[in-house]
Amino acid sequence: MPTYRMTFGSLAFLACNTLFLGIIVITTIYPFLYVIAASLSDQLYISQGKIGIIPMGFQLDAYKRVFAFPMLGRAYWNTVVYTVAGTAVSLFLTICAAYPLSRKELPGRNILTGFVLLPMLFAGGLIPTFLVVNALGMRNSIWAIVIPTAVASFYVFIQRTFFEQIPSELEDAAKIDGCSMLQTLWRIVLPLSVPSLVTIGLFYAVNQWNSFFPALIYLNDEKLFPVQILLRDIVIQNQTDQMMTDVHDDKNLLSESIKYSTLVVATLPILLVYPFIQKYFVQGSMMGSIKG
């Protein structure tokens, strides 16, 4: 069998590509490693700027204070509820919009596609959105977090493209067997669309988990605050006094350690989800982004 020999141009491209991707990986991973190392390091080393990616003066005192903070448990629960409910609602509405638009026989298909495209070009703005949410009585409720950002037009188009790639013969066979359109969607189309649905669901979940601005403007009750509001109060507004119960604490030093620990606690759970759905993520991203 003939052996494939790489040309000088191919080797140069491979070397440059590897170097470029390596730089991206380092610049992406380093901040996470630094934050983790700082959260596990002694406060004195943090104040002296000696922390790299390896903890110095290993300690867990900041984590103990973060987990003992009474508002953390409720904020975490609120975030989980908002993320799960928001992702479920977003996927349901995305499917409801994408599947009809993928049918070429849909009357007014191009006009409806234009309506879906419109929010990608023009947004209503913060004040009109706030007035609508307030008029509908959704303030200080889960719906104020879930409904206004429930559907993203970009993901609707990705899912529509994926639906269009499913062979029409499968749906024709389902119709011959007596399946209605909803039965065809539930039994044939959705099982074949798991990679794209998991991918889009991950995007929705990450956006919902990291979202804090809707909660900031729509929620006044502290019992409804998500963990990102708590993170904002601690990291940006420097509200760490409630976590320091010892009168001998050096608040200037311990405050920095608590901030890093809170960042890890708020970020790590959503990062741990990715390895379990990685096989779907790559396949769904590729198949839903092209039209073959």
Pick the CATH number of 60-287 from 1.20.1070.10, 1.10.3720.10, 3.40.50.11540, 3.30.300.30: 1.10.3720.10
pLDDT of residue 88: 94
Domain ranges in the chain are 1-59, 60-287
pLDDT of residue 23: 92
Q: How far apart are CA 237 and CA 157, in angstroms?
A: 39
Question: Scanning the structure block, which residue is given the tokens 């700082």?
Answer: 38
pLDDT of residue 247: 41
Q: What is the 3-state secondary structure (H, E, C) of the chain?
A: CCCCCCCHHHHHHHHHHHHHHHHHHHHHHHHHHHHHHHHCCCHHHHHCCCCCCCCCCCCCHHHHHHHHCHHHHHHHHHHHHHHHHHHHHHHHHHHHHHHHHHCCCCCCHHHHHHHHHHHHHCCCCHHHHHHHHHHCCCCCCHHHHHCCCCCCHHHHHHHHHHHHHCCHHHHHHHHHCCCCHHHHHHHHHHHHCHHHHHHHHHHHHHHHHHCCHHHHHHCCCHHHCCHHHHHHHHHCCCCCHHHCCCCCCCHHHHHHHHHHHHHHHHHHHHHHHHHHHHHHHHHHHHHCCCCC
Each residue of 10-53: pLDDT tens digit? 888 888 989 999 999 888 888 888 888 888 887 777 777 778 78
pLDDT of residue 4: 58
| Chain-centre distance for alpha carbon 215 | 16
Q: Which residues of the chain have pLDDT under 50?
A: 1, 247-249, 288-292
User: pTM score, two decimals?
Assistant: 0.80
Nearest to 173 by CA among 165, 160, 183: 183
pLDDT of residue 292: 43
